[in-house]
A and B are shown apart, each in its own frame.
Chain A
Amino acid sequence: MTARSRKADGVETEPRGDRELVHAARAGEVLAFDNLFYRYRDGIYRLAISITKDPSAAEEIVVDTFARAHRALERLEPDDSLRPWLYRVAVNLSYNRQPRKGVTFSSLDDGVFDLPAEGESPTEAAERGERRRVVLDCVDSLGPKHKVVVVLYYLNGLNLAEIAEIADVPVGTVKSRLHYALRKLRVQLSSHPGLDFEPGTVFGATHSEMHTLAGQG
């Protein structure tokens, strides 16, 4: 569903902003809340699934997040975007959810990306899939604060200011966390011989720092 709204006469209008939609939803317009839902549903789902690794839990988190938003409509005053507020709720819900013990989830969708693309050999596709798994494992090994920053920046495409609002920290702290996370990822990825990462060139880290970072994985 597109964010464009359609009037009764069939003339498409410009998509309404979050502030207008929130006010309309507060006035009882069901479609306004649905527009907000469809606008942020997938982003919140991806964020939740990257933290919980559980598709059904991610769906519940999406529902819980929007249910909270619905209950908070009266006191919500989004300046420009509702996104930081929703993402903050989703991050909190994701980390507060207890993981199911001994259960690992894998999606059939992931296997689709391991299939060889056009002009790609099966070997290359398998290497690409393995490289992807190694990178995701390295991201999972990060601490929660750093992982959230990386996920929000690289997966959800949020800018530093929005991430700062979600994490409730200054922008400088977000920069620092992102920098530290990338350094650590670079070191960890360098330890895998199949990946094209050269050790010793990690953002100016010294040789001893490389060992320190690798040991903290």
Chain B
Amino acid sequence: MGLFRATPLALDDRLPVDAALDEAFAPLRARTANISPARVRAAVRWSRPEPAQIGRTALLARISEITTAAVISAFVFSASLASLAASPYVPDVSRDPVVTGTWVPNGRNAFQRPMDTRATDYRTIAGDIAANAMTIRRASGQTGFDQEQTPSNR
């Protein structure tokens, strides 16, 4: 095939193409790049590996960061476990508290959960105070109601 035949380039044939290419590339040939070498240095600096001294320091810093993170994680995890262990007792409502004897009558025709022996029964204390107050009033001739508020005084 004659397509790839090594034919000599005729000057008359080549000159118009040369001129056309020269003219076509002229605007491009006049263009310049507004780039400074500082941009290259910045690109090199960003991709440059760290010096050994900085690398060791960075390694120590990274180890301390990891240690701190591990300690904080362990603290948070143990605290969450402790809060689970200290959760309040939830009575099993599926069981009949009366039958099982866990609940006791509260004196008002109802049942209540038995009070912890370690707890202070302020109701009892309040009841004692009220009883003492009534006793004092009776001793001084007063009833449990104020005189102004009794219906007979109205």
A150 close to B7 (CB less than 8 A): no
What's the count of A-B pairs with C-beta under 8 Å? 121
CA distance A132 to B37 in the complex (A): 33
In the complex, 13 of the A-B residue pairs with CB atoms within 8 angstroms, ordered by the A residue number, are A30-B41, A33-B40, A41-B35, A42-B33, A63-B35, A63-B40, A128-B23, A132-B24, A155-B25, A179-B9, A182-B17, A203-B9, A204-B7
Prevailing SS type, chain B contact patch? helix
User: At the interface, yes or no: B96 with Cβ under 8 Å from chain A?
Assistant: no
A37 close to B23 (CB less than 8 A): no
Give chain B's interface residue range (CB within 8 Å of chain A). Answer: 35 or more
Contacts of A42 in B (CB 8 A): 31-33
Interface residues, chain B, CB within 8 Å of chain A?
Answer: 2-4, 6-10, 12-14, 16-18, 20-33, 35, 37, 39-41, 43-44, 47
CA distance A45 to B35 in the complex (A): 10
Picked from A107, A151, A213, the residue with its CB within 8 Å of the CB of B31 is A107
Interface residues of A in 45-89 (CB under 8 A from B): 45-46, 49-50, 58-59, 62-64, 66-67, 70-71
User: At the interface, yes or no: A95 with Cβ under 8 Å from chain B?
Assistant: no
Q: A42-B31, A107-B31, A204-B10 are known contacts; what are 6 more A-B pairs with Cβ within 8 Å?
A: A37-B37, A113-B30, A132-B24, A185-B17, A203-B7, A204-B7
With known contacts A67-B40, A131-B23, A62–B2 Cβ distance under 8 A: no
Contacts of B37 in A (CB 8 A): 33-34, 37-38, 66
A195 close to B40 (CB less than 8 A): no
Interface residues, chain A, CB within 8 Å of chain B?
Answer: 30, 33-34, 37-38, 41-42, 44-46, 49-50, 58-59, 62-64, 66-67, 70-71, 107, 109-110, 112-113, 128, 131-132, 135-136, 139, 150-151, 154-155, 176, 179-180, 182, 185-186, 189, 195-197, 201-206, 209, 212-213
